[in-house]
Structure 1
Amino acid sequence: MTLFNPLARSLRAAAHDDAQVRDEVAVENLRRLRLGALLALPVFGGASLWMLQGALGGAAMGPWQRAVGMTHLSAMGLALLLGALAHVALHRAPTGRAGRALPVLAAVLMLLLGIALTAFYQWVTPKFTPLVLTAVGVALVFYLRPPVSTALFAVAAVAGFVTLPLTQPDPALLASGRVSVLVIPLMSLVFSVLSWRKNAVNILLSRSLAQANATLAAKQVELERLASHDGLTGLCNRGEFMRRADHELLRALRHKYSTAFILLDLDHFKRVNDHYGHPTGDAMLRHVSALLASGVRASDVVARLGGEEFVVLLPHTDLESALRCAEKLRLRVQAHPLATDAGPLSCTVSLGVVEVPPRSRADVAAAYAAIDRALYRAKSAGRNRVKAGTLDEDCGPTEPARLVA
């Protein structure tokens, strides 16, 4: 029993691989059948014309010549039919039953062609070139499952062994020929199994490589996203916001339009973490982030600066419009509590607003300093409110450092 264990494992592995690559093999076999039929047409046509040219000229023909010529002519018609069927199957159902059966049928006909031509040639010469060409051709052209190829070549060997005496009367040549018709299919079977195995391995390796490349590309995209976005909320992070804000302020200065900033902070957020735990605090941050992102225009930029602090960039927006937007965001957060297992958890925000006028050369740090002071006034006034700031106030030295840190 131990001698058969490796063989059993190999057979199970081959069956598993066959199930994995069956569709790709079916499509490739049909493509090869279509191309092979196209290339075989002039070969069979020329061979049949060569053999039958005497009859066309009125000359007498031997039985072997007539049989060989008609066999090539029939093979040309079958090649045309099989090529057309393969073309149709490729466009309709390449992995269906008909698509899988066509290459097997073509392999059977090729082997029958080789056996027939070999038998006919025995009338005049003991050569086995047709059987060699067709058997090796089947092994190399089609990727046949090992059980199928074993059955085909076994039947071909038996058929050749049985038909050879019909046209070869010489005992010595018959004995030698029978050995040949047994050895040729056996060697072709080995080629067929090796070809199928190599193709299956290549398909599986290509598939694994494609999956690895797709995974790598997805991770690369995720890394690029994390480099510019906050991992918890999905909003822009501080660095990405700085880049976009700098760019927007330069455009605003060039085209002379106002730009506004809103800085907001969740009120009493520490109590949420202390009373409900950090997972609930993270859920609250994600909840407020979604409310902010869906409450502004597509051209606006919402970012999380860190902790419970968020900032909104409003291009083409003056102070009055920015105050309306800030009030809308304040009411939006207040009206949408976070759903938790313990019930709805309400939250409010305090907001500071500043406008960078059309001709101002203020940078992001100066704008941040102004809205930070406005936010501080909103919190000092009782929280859950909006306060406006201006750029001409005295700017302390630490506020800009907070933004660039």
Structure 2
Amino acid sequence: MEPSQGIAGFLARWRASQEANRQVQGEATMESLRRFRAVACFTAPLHAILALLFAAYSPPAAHPELAQWARALVGAQLAAFVGVVIAGLLTHALLRRRQRANAAAIALQIAVSGLYLYFGAHVTLIDLVFNAGAGLASYLMICIMFGVLSLTRPAISVPVFGMTYLVFAYMLEHAPVNPMQRTSLHVIAAVAPALALVTAWMNWSQYAKSVLLRRQLKRSNEALVVQQQELAFLADHDALTGLYNRREFIRLAQMELLRATRVPCETAVIMVDLDFFKKINDRYGHPGGDAVLKATAACLNQALRATDTPARLGGEEFIVLLPATGREGALQVANKLRDAVRSTTIEFDGGRIAITASFGVSSVAAHANATVDAIYAAADRALYVAKQLGRDRVEYADPEASEFKPES
């Protein structure tokens, strides 16, 4: 592999990683703000208690300068208390209003991190100047704490912790500390944000991977649900027209005939067969034929009553179940459908396709105790007659007596 290809591949992966980090940052910011809000409930009273403790501090007689150290810490702790309360209230208000991060949320996240890191640097310098307190331990602890709490991508965390070191280094350079210790303090001051940066990067990497994996799983689950819905639809529907398929129509017809025996009523079916459909396929190809089938299905759906059930049997054949409908009503519906199909013109490939259909109608009386096969066979015979007599017409046939179920 040529070096240029390796560099190009690295840059492509790097850009993809940056884009993924950018997409995750919004969710990470909201999680960080939720963490800040929870931690503020602990740190705000802690700063108030520390301010009271330092205010009540009495330095030993041998070190009167520690009184000034305590006063400086009282001011710092009170300022931190006020800042944490304000930041906590702002965070709470933003979290209540928004479910997703915006520029204000990210800015608040950076501001809270930066100001608290500055507080750590300020308190540490007070300890160093008076050679008391926890010294650099406070700075290190706060840096690492925000490396864990604040979920920021490297493009944000590197400048934040880098600026933290620069500010601390500047303050250290101008603080009245022992010049002999300044070099070692600078080294330690650089190590603290560096360790925090490593912690922040590891924390971010783990969080980003979990978010991306969760999103991928969500997309996969949504795709699986869609596939399951499609499979469930195709189990009882025709894929091309969206009408019920033969199997589902037979099931629905059986249920309707059973219902018609419990609540006596007539039931009818209409078989529909497009005329000269093979010529349409030969002239316009299967795409043209598919367009005709879909237009016919739409025409049937539009012309039928809400209680009627159309289905596609296969090829160019359709069938309609008409509950609570006798011979005359079924013939009226069939003639209405014939007129609707005849007036349908399909626009295809810059031309127009005119269609007609033949209709076979059959019905059973309220107490006939008929089967689906019986009424279907009768409608099929009627359809055959319609074809033989010239097509584009409606014919009727009654089921044969031998096709009825015997009385139980």
TM over 0.5: yes
Matched, 1:211 2:219: yes
What residue is the counterpart of 1:20 in the other structure? 23
Q: Do the aligned residues in 1 keep the contact of 2:124 with 2:136 (CA within 8 Å)?
A: yes
- Give the aligned partner of residue 112 of structure 1: 118
How does 1:92-241 map onto structure 2 within 5 Å?
92=97, 94-122=100-128, 123=130, 124-125=132-133, 127-164=135-172, 169-170=177-178, 174-241=182-249
1:348 match: 356
Counterparts of residues 29-68 of structure 1 (less than 5 Å)? 29-53=32-56, 62-68=67-73
CA contact (8 A) 1:168 1:174 kept: no
Mapping for residues 62-77 of structure 1, pairs under 5 Å: 62-77=67-82
Residue deviations 1:253-286, cap 9 Å, x none? 1222222111111122222223333322222111
Number of the residue aligned with 2:339: 331
Change beyond 3 A, Cα 1:342–1:54:
closer
| Match in the other structure for 1:316 | 324
The residue that corresponds to 1:301 in the other structure is 309
What is the CA distance between 1:236 and its match in structure 2? 0.8
In structure 2, the partner of 1:401 is none
Q: Secondary structure at the match of 1:317?
A: coil
Report how far residue 51 of structure 1 moved.
Answer: 2.2
Q: Deviations over 1:124-178 (max 9, x none)?
A: 2463232122101111111123233222222322333343477674456555433
Deviation at residue 10 of structure 1 after TM alignment: 6.7
State how many pairs are aligned: 391
Instruction: Determine if contact 2:275/2:356 at 8 Å carries over to the other structure.
Output: yes
Structure-1 residue corresponding to 2:61: none
* Contact preservation (8 Å) 1:370, 1:393: no
Q: Which runs of 5+ in 2 are unaligned?
A: 59-63
Q: Cα offset for 1:309?
A: 1.0
Listed as ranges, the gaps of 5+ residues in structure 1 are 397-405
Q: Secondary structure at the match of 1:362?
A: coil
CA contact (8 A) 2:125 2:172 kept: yes
1:336-383 Cα offsets, whole Å, 9 max, x none, are 122234633222111122223222321111111111112122222222
What is the SS of the residue equivalent to 1:234?
Answer: coil
Contact 1:114-1:130 at 8 Å conserved across structures: yes
Secondary structure at the counterpart of residue 288 of structure 1: helix
Alpha-carbon distance between aligned partners in 2 of 1:108 and 1:342, rounded to the nearest angstrom: 67
Aligned mates of 2:253, 2:13 — CA distance in 1 = 63
Going from structure 1 to structure 2, the CA distance change for 1:96 and 1:169 (only over 3 Å counts) comes to: closer
Query: What letter corresponds to residue 19 of structure 1 in structure 2?
Result: R
Where 1:62 maps in the other structure, the secondary structure is helix
Deviates further, 127-136 or 339-348: 339-348
SS in 1 for 2:396: strand
Distance 1:330 1:11 in 2: 65
Displacement, 1:198?
2.3
SS of 2:313 mapped into structure 1: strand
State the 1:79 CA deviation. 1.1
Q: Is the 8 A contact 2:371 2:403 kept in 1?
A: no
Match of 1:86 in 2: 91
Please tell me the residue identity of whatever aligns with 1:95: A
In 2, Cα distance between equivalents of 1:375 and 1:299: 23
Q: Deviations over 1:216-263 (max 9, x none)?
A: 221121122112111221111111111111112112212222221111
Give the 3 Å change call, closer, same or farther, for CA 153–268 of structure 1 in structure 2.
closer
CA, structure 1 residues 161+281, in 2 after alignment: closer, same or farther (shift >3 Å)?
closer
**Root mean square deviation of aligned Cα:** 2.7
What is the rounded CA distance, in whole Å, between the counterparts of 1:18 and 1:236 in structure 2? 47
Amino acid at match of 1:115: A
Q: Give me the TM-score of the superposition, normalised by structure 1.
A: 0.88
Aligned counterparts of 1:22 and 1:174: Cα–Cα separation in 2? 37
- Aligned AA (1:29): S
The 2-side partners of 1:327 and 1:163 are apart by 95
Matched with 2:271 is 263
TM superposition shift of 1:334: 0.6
Alpha carbons of structure 1 residues 163 and 364: separation in structure 2 relative to 1, 3 Å = same
